[in-house]
Amino acid sequence: MPDNRTNNNHSLSKSLYVKGLQCHKSLWLHKNKPELKDKVSVTQQATFSTGTDVGILAQQLFPGGVLVPFEELSYEDQISMTEEAIASGKRTIYEATFRFDGIFMKADILHRGKRGWELYEVKSSTGVKDVYMDDLAIQYYVITGSGLKLNRSSLVHINNKYVRNGEIDVNELFAVADLTTDIMSMQKDVAANLKAMKKMLAGKMPDIDIGPHCSDPYECAFSGHCWQHIPKHSVFDFADIGKPDPFPLYQQGIILMKDVSREELGWRQKLQLDAMKMKKVIVEEEKVKTFLDDLWYPLCFLDFETTYMTPVPLFEGTSPNKQVPFQYSLHVVDKQGKKPRHFEFLAEPGKDPRKDFLNSLLENLPADGCIVAWNQNFEISRLKELGAQFPRKQKKIAALIEHFRDLMTPFKKKDIYHRDFDGSYSIKAVLPALIPDLSYKGMPVSNGEEASIAWLSLWGETDKRKVQETRQQLLDYCCLDTLAMVKILEVMRNLTTTRA
């Protein structure tokens, strides 16, 4: 579970230790200048909450344990309560609390097994990562340093093969990786790392420049602060296949895109660079015409919103992190020059949306229409999954899939390019560059992840005004996704002479 808690300015938590491993400057800033941290995004907050929920669910692997709460007790009381639980023969302790060598930490699950105490760290990811080993290693160091012998150190993570069948079966949902041998072999490094961190913290802010470590293993919370000297159109803004590694260039003092030797660039980056000098849209007319000639009426602009990163499957027959569609927007243009008709669906929160979603879609989507999507593989994959779940609808779905055309393709191929795309072919970049009046900027829900978080936030929400407001935000966002495609297609036509 995520843990940023420390008891005072002189001690560290396990997560600060991990941050210190990533970058000493990050640790120094966390301890001395926390006000310079970037704002926590909605997605980061949701990831944090998910981690906490998964941690609580994993406690059911060892039912009947005693919880050492963080909120109601002082740090000293948490440590005392842990000691008492151990002394009184409790078999399982959730959030057991220890302090040793300046580190204050809470262990997700501490369980007394047949051969002694076992430590379990819970993560909502689907496998073991090096950074989790560091997390466990510091816990082992603190717990054993406090005088408790550990027989086993394990990581509890999500089993991505799990398929929900009725109530969640925690013994199937979670997988346990025994990392005891690795964790024990890391102990020497832990002591040395801590020594180096303490020495560093006693001094001035370390002089560490930006580098790949800023986002590996985690996006650093001080990126906004440390990267503020990097201007727009820098070597870090090269996009797409063939882009040069920006850090060696930066280390040579080459910061602006225009200062990079053309030999180091792929054709996409050369286009990105050349386009910066032009205000107009660059168009490969013949190629765009060929794309447009392949479309037919009625044009059906379609976009799905789906659940995102839900490690605990929400619905029957689904696996961890499965993307389940809960909303669509559809603009249908029957003939050239005709005003688009709009259809939409947004599932009621708290129940499986798939049946109603599919029924509504099949009712509103013209069977003979040309279905225009942005990154069609996403919608097609979701439709195939729905076909597998509702075999009677499979034939209809298969026919629809044949009708898809991907509006992203000419942008991905760079047949249409504008300097304000900044190398991207995402609709979020393309739309405001081609149609400045339409943009996702400032919308309360402005991307797919936020849409998923917003919909899931409605589960169990009793405030009717809040429900109404969030529903409207979701409808507005998804509607813009398909309206954007309608408008982008109009621009594409104006840029060529062909009319599809």
Can you give the binding site for ligand SF4, defined by CB under 6 A? 23, 25-26, 29, 208, 210, 213-214, 220, 222-223, 226
Closest to ligand SF4 by CB, 205 vs 399, is 205
| Minimum separation from the CB atom of position 131 to ligand SF4 (A) | 14
| Minimum separation from the CB atom of position 215 to ligand SF4 (A) | 8
Residue closest to 410 by CA, chosen among 270, 283, 230, 264: 283
Is the link from the previous residue into 298 a cis peptide, with omega within 30 of 0? yes
| Minimum separation from the CB atom of position 135 to ligand SF4 (A) | 18
Other Cβ atoms less than 10 A from the Cβ of 374: the count is 25
Could you give the strand order of the β-sheet that contains 103-113, starting from the edge strand earlier in sequence? 66-67, 92-100, 103-113, 116-122, 150-158, 174-178
- Rounded to whole angstroms, the Cα distance separating 177 from 170 reads 15
- Rounded to whole angstroms, the Cα distance separating 425 from 275 reads 14
Helices (H) and strands (E) in the chain, counts: 19, 13
Q: What is the DSSP letter of 258?
A: G
Closest to ligand SF4 by CB, 152 vs 198, is 198
Closest to ligand SF4 by CB, 175 vs 210, is 210
Q: What is the DSSP letter of 70?
A: S
| Minimum separation from the CB atom of position 422 to ligand SF4 (A) | 21
Q: What is the DSSP letter of 317?
A: T
| Minimum separation from the CB atom of position 25 to ligand SF4 (A) | 4
| Minimum separation from the CB atom of position 306 to ligand SF4 (A) | 32
Closest to ligand SF4 by CB, 213 vs 412, is 213
Closest to ligand SF4 by CB, 41 vs 165, is 41
Closest to ligand SF4 by CB, 25 vs 393, is 25
In this structure, what is the dihedral angle of CA atoms 473, 475, 476, 479, given to the nearest 10 degrees?
Answer: 160
Closest to ligand SF4 by CB, 176 vs 208, is 208
Residue closest to 386 by CA, chosen among 456, 447, 322, 329: 322
| Minimum separation from the CB atom of position 237 to ligand SF4 (A) | 17
